[in-house]
Amino acid sequence: MTSLPLPAHHPALSASDPELAALVGAEERLQAETLRLIPSENYVSHAVLEASGTVLQNKYSEGYAGRRYYEGQQNIDQVERLAIGRAKALFGVDHANVQPYSGSPANLAVYLAFAEPGDTVMGMALPMGGHLTHGWGVSATGTWFRGVQYGVRHDTGLIDFDEVRDLALKERPKVIFCGGTALPRTIDFAAFAEIAREAGAVLVADVAHIAGLIAGGAHPSPVPHADVISTTTHKTLRGPRGAMLMCREQYAKPLDKAVFPGLQGGPHNQTTAAIAVALHEAGLPSFRDYAHAVVANARALADALLARGFDLVSGGTDNHLILMDLTPKDVPGKVAAKALDRAGIVVNYNTVPYDPRKPFDPSGIRIGTPSLTSRGLGTQHMAAVADWIDRGVTAARTGDEAALATIRAEVADLMAAHPAPGIPV
Ligand SMILES: Cc1ncc(COP(=O)(O)O)c(C=O)c1O
């Protein structure tokens, strides 16, 4: 049994399962007190948290609204229709499926809809910034299909569209994925669409990382260029852990069929409800401000890091994400990430393009501004953030634990002045 304090605002949980309640309380404190820089994370609103903890959890509803295999769907159908209608309006798409359990199953559904096992599929290589599910070897998408992979140029850190085009025309993939998980630059959806059209491939824009920026007008939209749009709902979009697939009407049937019954059983209705709430919030004027502030903060942070001699992949950022190669600082990414964690700054170690080190011990760290922007930090705070990272990385190299403790206290002070959404103080 843990000796951690019980969170008074979870009375039922604390009474029924104090061990678990104490861990939830500890995680709340950790998220409140630390500077969370992992670019795929965020703080959801209290409303999103509430929606994801409702009795909608109790309901089975295999099928789609109006076509279920279970009775008692009077409310569930409306919840799902609400989420779908909001997704369509927010992103300007013909069709939305809000049932995928998360981003990886959403992408798997795309393959199921448009490719046969053994077919060639194409995406960005994982070490270049792509996602596992874009045909990388250790993923089912790279073993059940023949994954061919493009990257970024060594000299610029940018996608080489001549290379992408040559590869697509040579390999004739059924599906081309664009988007990724460590891409600091704007994705040129129109350029990908032209290549996919020439190669006869279905173009999938995986906008998991940037969906909130697109919704808020801070990144160009993949509509009308992509045939299918895949996204998680829990990153910049600031919703619950889940995913959506959106597409033109002509692709709706195969996609829906691939999600259910192709891959999944009953949708997680409490998540669908929370997605609906997040989509409502993302349609508010304040969310446009948020999305633009995320980008402004990332640019200011990138500038401040460059001024301190950090090597940023592609030389900076256009979005919410910064990928740093720490080789010139003489500290491996993992050593830096673990030291920063001790300093109250949460990042993840990451490969950089053409990384000579192994993925589990790579050269870089990946950071982003969605979470700190959700707490109300602005460009005026980014010099301090860069300074903490700089001092933290130096302390990682010299083994200076006292310096890390000093940073941790400074971070906690700023965090206390900027309460995190959804976390009771
Ligand atoms: C671009 C991209 N696609 C898909 C996913 C997969 O999402 P999930 O972790 O929800 O399966 C991620 C997750 O990081 C991602 O970055």
Q: Is residue 174 annotated as a catalytic residue, yes or no? A: no
What is the biggest distance separating any 2 CA atoms in the chain, rounded to whole angstroms?
A: 64
Q: Quote the pLDDT of residue 190.
A: 98
Q: Per residue in 225-274, pLDDT tens?
A: 999 999 999 999 999 999 999 999 999 999 999 999 999 999 999 999 99
**How far apart are the CA of 290 and the centre of ligand 1, in A?**
22
pLDDT above 80 for 371 = yes
Q: Give the span between the Cα atoms of 267 and 80, in whole angstroms.
A: 10
How does pLDDT run across 151-163, given as a tens digit for each residue?
999 999 999 999 9
pLDDT digits (tens, 9 = 90+) for 86-117: 999 999 999 999 999 999 999 999 999 999 99
CA distances from 304 to 38, 188, 326 (A): 18, 26, 15
CB of 141 closer than 6 angstroms to any ligand 1 atom: no
What confidence tier does 185 reach under pLDDT thresholds 50, 70, 90? very high
CB of 231 sitting under 6 A from ligand 1 = no
Q: Over the stretch 348-365, which tens digit does the pLDDT of each residue have? A: 999 999 999 999 999 999
pLDDT at 3: 78
For the stretch 14-66, pLDDT in tens is: 999 999 999 999 999 999 999 999 999 999 999 999 999 999 999 999 999 99
The pLDDT value recorded for residue 124 is 98
State the pTM of this model: 0.97
Query: DSSP character for 94?
Result: S
- The Cα 395–Cα 10 span in angstroms is 38
Instruction: Verify whether ligand 1 is closer than 6 Å to residue 240 (CB atom).
Output: no
